[in-house]
Structure 1
Amino acid sequence: MKNYENPPHEQPGSRRDFLTKTGILVASGLAATGIVSCTSEKGGDEDVTTNEDLMREHGVLKRILLIYDEACNRLTTAKDLNIALVAQSANLIKTFIEEYHEKLEEDHLFPRFEKAGQLTDLTKVLRLQHQKGRLLTLRIIANAQKPNPTTDEKKLMVQDMQAFVRMYSPHEAREDTILFPALHNLISKHEYDALGEDFEKKEKEQFGGDGFDMAVDKVTSIEKAMNIYDLNLFTPNI
């Protein structure tokens, strides 16, 4: 009787060993030539989850809130400040946060919670704060774009920036710690993954590429122009 499991001229496990070793060699060769890579360079395809995508966009917002804080400090203490940098920051909030990030929340996240009858009190407040934030942003842009804003206009700018920071610090913190984590229990893994892919598609359509990278580049440029980019500046001298 023929032994089909171990044919003649083949020792047990030799074919498996051959395929395994061959596969390893091929994979190693591809990786060495750069054809296969587990990580990607900036601007390449990334395996970013839905919540990670939303929360890193919050990171951009946090950095702009720090810019607002510094701008307020300089305006109230008569320190030198290029007002155009305030306008650039507010415009970045308008295009990247309000017209993109918040739109994703309002169109895809809030309705899911409201339909399920979950966290509806929270989404109601978040929606209202989005509306208030947009009004503040328009006023900040209007005053910051003036060639020579008056003392009163600068005071209004400070008040609006302070109000924005005061509202959005807890706003994004509640989303990061309450709303976004609850999304996992609200929808299936398949829907969660599909939502992330949809977000990525919308981002590329709206910005013509990686909107997050573009936003990070812009906020970095503003920080450097204001001389607040160096992280060591925020380390207490104790």
Structure 2
Amino acid sequence: MIRDFLTGMGFMAEGFRIVARPGMRRYAAAPVLVSLVVFLGLAALLGWGFDTWMAALLPAGWDWLEWLLWPLFAVAIILVWVFTYIHLTNLIGAPFNDLLAERVLAETRGTPHPEGNWSQLLRDGARAAANTVAVLVYSLRWAIPLLVLTLIPGLNLVAPALWLVFNAWLLALEYADYPLGARGLAFREQRALVARERPAALGFGLAALVATSIPVVNLVAMPAAVAGATRLFAERVGTSAAPEVSQEPDA
């Protein structure tokens, strides 16, 4: 399990190596631009409202514990911010991410890269965007309880750790769509396959989350995650037509 977890983390590093290659840079350029625009917008919003949100989260009468609670709440707010940033960039950049994933898939299969057209790009991008929405809908049943937990004094001490695991799992699901969606798999089928590789998926998701949380690095994190996840799930699950997938427990 630990070995698979570390292997999953390694695929994020592999993603950075892939998008840094001369032949891949043009496919990563548009996702990087999307990341930059979204990052600047959300960073401005966070800077404007951070103190207000912190004051609202710190319970009255707990001033003597502010030195301990402030960092915990700050981490929780940043994780929520990262969650928003990731899904916005993936939603907006879906068509370009799909094009990058197709190029990585072709390389993994050892086949010529198909020359796509604008209609195919928009169609595939719409599918990837729809999967991002599906992940967001799926996440609500966990995000809402976690947000409530973040507001409860005492219990909110464990909120940052739960947000960490939660975001890592969602990232694995979201980026897995690029290789698995190309096989015609629906979101529930994708989730079943990712669950079979849970340690590797969580390792990859955590590495992607860390990369997305680092300023400047996060501008390249999205295309790197697309490339890394495509290589990870193409190698672990395969790239052929959709297989029979048994139902997995909701998680």
- What is the TM-score when the length of structure 2 is the normalising length? 0.29
Instruction: Report 1 or 2 for greater relative contact order, CA contacts < 8 Å, sequence distance ≥ 6.
Output: 2
Larger Rg: 1
More helix by share: 2
- What is the TM-score when the length of structure 1 is the normalising length? 0.30
